[in-house]
Amino acid sequence: MSTMLFVNLPVADVARSRAFFTCLGFRFDAMFCDQGTVCMEINDCSRVVLHAAQRFAGYAAGAVADPYVGRESLVAVSAGSRSEVDRCADAALTHGGSALRDPEDLGFMYCRSFCDLDGHAWEVVWMDASQIPADDDSST
C-alpha cells in the first residue's frame, strides 16, 4: 500500500492559486513547483498538486470536470483547534473564496467549508475523538 497521498486539481491560474493558499497558511514543496504546477504540503505524507488546467488535462483520462457545475471532490483537511478552522475558513473567504455550507458544530467536531478560486470544495475540520459520544447500546 502507498505511503503518500497526492490529490491533483486543475486551476485556471497557478500563481493566483498559490497566493490564495499561501494566505490560508499552506506551504509549498519547491521541488515540485514550476510555472504550471504548485505542490502544496498538507503533512509529511499528503500533498495537493495544483496544475494549470491544460497540464492537468494531459494527465486526466477523460474530460476535466467543471467544479462550478458539479463536485469532483471535497478535499478535507484537519486543523489543530476550532480557532484554526475559523482562521483558515475566514482567510479563504477574505481572499476570494466562497462559502460552501454553513459551519457544522457537533461539539466533538467542528468544520467549515468553502470553495477556492477555481470552485474546488474544501473542508477544514477539528475533532476531539475523546469527546465522541459513546454508542449507548444498553437496551439489548
More confident residue, 54 or 97: 97
Please give the grid coordinates belonging to residue 66: 467543471
Are the beta carbons of 30 and 44 closer than 8 angstroms? Answer: no
Q: Quick one: which of 48, 24, 41 has its CA closest to 112? A: 24
Share of the chain above pLDDT 90, in %: 69
Please give the grid coordinates belonging to residue 8: 491533483
More confident residue, 30 or 51: 51
- Alpha-carbon distance 34 to 69, whole Å? 29
Q: How confident is the model at residue 129 (pLDDT cuts 50, 70, 90)?
A: confident
Are the beta carbons of 5 and 77 closer than 8 angstroms? Answer: no
Rounded to the nearest 10°, the torsion over CA 89, 93, 97, 98 is 90
pLDDT of residue 139: 54
Q: Is the pLDDT reported for residue 42 higher than 70?
A: yes
Mean pLDDT within 16-39: 94
pLDDT of residue 107: 93
pLDDT of residue 63: 81
**Cα-based distances in Å from 72 to 19, 22, 126:** 23, 23, 23
Q: Quick one: which of 118, 123, 98, 86 has its CA closest to 18? A: 118
Q: What is the pTM of this model?
A: 0.85
Q: How confident is the model at residue 138 (pLDDT cuts 50, 70, 90)?
A: low
Q: Is the pLDDT reported for residue 59 higher than 90?
A: no
